[in-house]
Amino acid sequence: MRILVSISLLCLVLVSCNDNNSTNLEKFDTSDLNYANRTLLEVAMEDAFPPPVASRVYVYPHIAHYITLQSFYPDSLPKIDNKLNKLSPLPEFDKQNVNPELASLLAFSKIGKKVVFSEFYLDELAAHFKNEAVLKNYSEETIQASDEYAEKVSGHLLPWINSDQYIETRTFDRFTSTKDPENWRETPPDYMEALEPFWDNIRPLVIDSASVFEAKVLPKYETTEDSEFFKMVYEVYEESKNLDSSKVNTAWFWDDNPNTTLHKGHMMVVVHKISPPGHWLNIIHQITEKEKSSLFTTSKAYTFTATAMFDAIISCWHEKFKTDLVRPITYIQEFIDVEWRSVIQTPPFPEYTSGHSAISASAAGILNTIFGKDFEFSDNTQKLFDMEERSFKSFDEAAWEVSLSRFYGGIHYMIGVEEGNRQGYFIAGLVSDALSE
């Protein structure tokens, strides 16, 4: 009898150990989401997406990851699928044998594949996570169930993504500059046509419309030296003549031009850099890695920030093409100094408001709510381009440095960066209030 009891106890212990081995498998965590994000950033650079399109490339995969994860952990993340414009709530899919963290990463990969050109990189990303699952001793049944769950989430999201007007804007008539002196005109050295002039037709994720922000009225266009407009432009010119190495380095650190062209004689080389929204997502990568942030905090930081930046760009591009304001380089070369060049290359779209300022302030506004207004951090994003790491006492400090960098770089007026900064915080407040309820 005693022997039978001992055998029964041994069996019970063995069953318990097996159960623990099956339920306490090594989980996918923040490092895996950061790996997925970094892969997406590199694909966006490879595919040379301009900032507005890059914001779209970034946000949808992170939304897919977030809502998949949230569907398993409703007490750890606020529900957002019912708060995004025109998106119906995620249905209740079968969760049997599904690993939430793996399914979330596979949903990220599947949606990422739909919004980039180089699709094979996202196939490789999905294969990477499946291989990792095998190494973590996940059963074939769990891997398959997780993949099927991710496919269902993707199937729910894709019709919504495809209806955001992106496809339609690819077919709109070409934008032609007016050639009027007060309006934007194609700028040197490439004299490229306007970039994404119809981006305000894209469906926002949270804000009601592209026109939700009201920017300050610009001074009247004039060329007389005592006019307010001339003084506004001359301030840029004067600053460019007094730049020290610190200001020049600041301009280049935040340049973030995904398609910078270098000219030497008849030869032109295009350098693909990270975009402004990508820069901020890479900052999140660095912060969450250093802080060992939970997967929930990391997913929220990526998704809420990407959402705010996406809407901020729509709002900003609406203002840009509504005001259609001439860039400093055009006015300065015509009325002040024909030989003048901006420190960094002027991007091909109207000046007002500053896009990088709006993007950065929207990111800072969201990150303030997640990590705190006095959160200190360092950023080594530009080490790839041989620039030193920079440190900041807060997200607000970094966002304002971004704004000043555009003024130092000679591509924006001070009112453009100030209003862009204000615009970004305004959008961040709307996004934060909507998604955190």
Please report where in the chains the tokens 């020290």 appear, as a residue. Answer: 244
92 burial (CB, 10 Å; 0-12 / 13-18 / 19+) is: exposed
- Number of structural domains, the chain? 2
Give the pLDDT score at 226.
Answer: 98
| 244/369 same-domain check | yes
Specify the pTM: 0.93
Residues 209 and 330 in one domain: yes
- With contact defined as beta carbons under 8 Å apart, do 313 and 201 qualify? no
Q: Are residues 153 and 294 in the same domain?
A: no
Of 143, 167, 191, the last residue of a domain is: 167
What span, in angstroms and rounded, lies between the C-alpha atoms of 161 and 255?
A: 29
pLDDT in tens, the chain (437 residues): 333 333 333 333 333 333 333 456 799 999 999 999 999 999 999 999 999 999 999 999 999 999 999 999 999 999 999 999 999 999 999 999 999 999 999 999 999 999 999 999 999 999 999 999 999 999 999 999 999 999 999 999 999 999 999 999 999 999 999 999 999 999 999 899 999 999 999 999 999 999 999 999 999 999 999 999 999 999 999 999 999 999 999 999 999 987 555 555 555 444 567 999 999 999 999 999 999 999 999 999 999 999 999 999 999 999 999 999 999 999 999 999 999 999 999 999 999 999 999 999 999 999 999 999 999 999 999 998 889 999 999 999 999 999 999 999 999 999 999 999 999 999 999 999 999 97
Considering the domain architecture, whether residues 213 and 324 belong to the same structural domain is answered as yes
CATH classification at residue 233:
1.10.606.20
Q: Tell me: do 125 and 213 sit in the same domain.
A: no
* Whether 160 contacts 147, CB under 8 Å: no
Beta strands in 187-327 (DSSP E): 260-264, 267-271
Helix, strand, or coil here: 82?
Answer: coil
Residue at a domain's end among 112, 147, 167: 167
Task: Specify whether 161 is located in the same domain as 213.
Answer: no
305 inside domain: yes
263 and 145 part of one domain? no
Encoding tokens for residue 291?
């802080």
Query: Within a 10 A sphere around the Cβ of 272, how many other Cβ atoms?
Result: 16
Same domain, 280 and 152: no
Distance (Å, whole) CA 30 – CA 47 = 26
Which residue bears the tokens 């001439």?
326
Is residue 415 included in any domain, yes or no? Answer: yes
Query: 235 by DSSP, 3-state: which?
Result: helix
Query: Does residue 14 lie within any of the structural domains?
Result: no
State which H helix or E strand residue 390 sits in. Answer: strand 390-392
DSSP secondary structure string for all residues of 362-386: HHHHHHHHHH-TT--EEE-GGGGGT
Distance (Å, whole) CA 110 – CA 155: 10
Q: How many residues does the chain have?
A: 437
pLDDT of residue 266: 52
Query: Based on the domain organization, do 273 and 357 belong to the same domain?
Result: yes
**How many whole angstroms separate alpha carbon 36 and alpha carbon 29?**
11
Model pLDDT, residue 260? 55
| Domain final residue, candidates 151, 167, 183 | 167
User: Do residue 312 and residue 372 come from a single domain?
Assistant: yes
153 and 209 share one domain:
no
- Establish if 12 belongs to a structural domain: no
In a domain, 286, yes or no: yes
CA-nearest of 211, 202, 204 to 311 is: 204
Q: Is 197 within the bounds of a domain?
A: no
Residue 11 to residues 7, 17, 25, 187, 233, Cα–Cα distance (Å): 6, 10, 21, 78, 82
* Residue 264 confidence (pLDDT): 57
- For residue 175, being part of any structural domain is answered with no
Which domain range does residue 56 map to?
A: 28-167
Q: 386 lies in a domain? A: yes
Are 294 and 386 within one domain?
Answer: yes
Please, are residues 110 and 129 in contact by the beta-carbon 8 Å criterion?
Answer: no
- CA–CA gap between residue 431 and residue 423 (Å, rounded): 12
